[in-house]
Amino acid sequence: MKPSSFVAAVSLAALILVQTGCLFHTRPVEMRTSSAPLLTASKPELIERIDHDAAAIKTLNATVEIATSVGGQKKGKVTDYQQISGYVLVRKPNMLRMIGLFPIVRNKAFDMVSNGNEFKLSVPLRNKFYVGHNDVVHPGGNPLENLRPEVIYDALLLHEIDPKDEIAVLENSTETIVDRKTKKLVEQADYVVDVIRRLGDEWVLDRKVVFDRSNLTSHRQVIYDAKGNVATDASYQVFQEFNGVQFPTVIQIDRPQEEYSITLTVTKLTVNDPLRDDQFALQPPPGSILVNLDQANQTASSAASGQAAPQALSDTPKK
């Protein structure tokens, strides 16, 4: 039989089967797409939103609740630590201070500042004062030992897109959400702005900003390292208006490579009030032991003694 004759015969047989209802069964497909009305925006409009939201915030003075978890698939378990209260101060372009307080007694669990390049951390209970660069020079064994203030700073704020060294690309994507009516998991379309940054002679994926198309709010930011791995995955929920600025009151910061997460719940926030230089000054308490985390031997000794610096964020594991 010629190929053309064979194809004609197969087509005729298929047509007969369809018309007679033989050898097939039709079944309904459950709707798994969100029915929420969606807004539309162009790439220039989304870039304008990012730049506007980034420029709207100059300073933050927040009272927060800090919840920390460590672990995941690599460790085979997750440890949740007792939530503590604290404060976060931010002043652009690169200043951050974060203070954690022990429950009930309200003594300082830790006090950490950064100028964008170097940071200092005081842990009074252990009588240690840590210094080092924001880049982790000698990684420690405990995931929280590698926490740097820059992680918190970058997760809290959106950054404007620099037209000189960055390119923005629009991606139409979807995300899984809980439908408000059915309370089931459904797919909903979203917008993703991929920001590609110049790194020397190369271009690398720097970050992604995800927009909820039900309200065009940027509710997630994924930050990448130079090798293209996800460094930080930050999500933003429960937006409120503070001094005319929309800001999330629940910020979850996930670090998948180190397997730890920090959730900041904002209970009080002041936006764009002046913050003084002395509010970002931190001196070693009298008699405290100086530990330079950029020096391998000192990092190893602190880790070996179980006194890894930013583990103060964890406080006490939940029972």
Q: Give the whole-angstrom CA distance, residue 148 versus residue 112.
A: 9
User: Tens of pLDDT along 259-268?
Assistant: 899 999 999 9
Q: What is the pLDDT of residue 3?
A: 57
DSSP class of residue 67? Answer: E
Q: What is the pTM of this model?
A: 0.82
The identity of residue 96, as a single letter, is: L
Whole-number average pLDDT of the chain:
85
Q: What is the pLDDT of residue 239?
A: 96
Residue 135 or 267, more confident = 267
| Closest of 162, 106, 148 to residue 232, by C-alpha | 148
- pLDDT of 13 above 90: no
- C-alpha radius of gyration, the chain, whole number: 25
> Within its chain, how far is the Cα of 317 from the centroid?
23
The identity of residue 21, as a single letter, is: G
Average pLDDT over residues 220-240: 96
Domain spans in the chain, listed from the N-terminal domain onward: 43-313
Residues 6+ apart with CB under 8 A from 20: none
**Residue 10: which H helix or E strand, with range?**
helix 3-20
Q: Are the CB atoms for 95 and 115 separated by under 8 Å?
A: yes
Q: What is the pLDDT of residue 6?
A: 60
- pLDDT of 185 above 50: yes
User: Tens of pLDDT along 74-125?
Assistant: 878 888 888 999 999 999 999 999 999 998 777 899 999 999 889 999 999 8
Query: Above pLDDT 90, what percent of the chain?
Result: 60
Range 67-101 burial, b when 16+ CB lie within 10 A, else e: bbbbebeeeeeeeebeebbbbbbbbeeebbbbbbb
Confidence class for position 31, pLDDT limits 50, 70, 90 = low
Confidence class for position 312, pLDDT limits 50, 70, 90 = low
Lowest mean per-residue pLDDT among 53-67, 94-108, 194-208: 94-108
- pLDDT of 301 above 50: no
DSSP class of residue 143? Answer: G
- Using CA of residue 14, residue 15, residue 21, residue 26, what is the dihedral sign? positive
User: Tens of pLDDT along 269-288?
Assistant: 999 999 999 999 999 999 99
Average pLDDT over residues 28-33: 72
Average pLDDT over residues 8-25: 60
Q: What is the pLDDT of residue 43?
A: 97
Q: What is the pLDDT of residue 33?
A: 83
* Inter-CA distances, 247 with 50, 62, 154, 250, Å: 13, 11, 15, 9
Fold of 43-313: outer membrane lipoprotein receptor (LolB), chain A (2.50.20)
Query: Rounded to the nearest 5 degrees, what angle is found at the Cα of 57, between the Cα atoms of 54 and 63?
Result: 125
Confidence class for position 305, pLDDT limits 50, 70, 90 = very low
Q: Give the whole-angstrom CA distance, residue 139 versus residue 132.
A: 12
Q: What is the pLDDT of residue 247?
A: 97
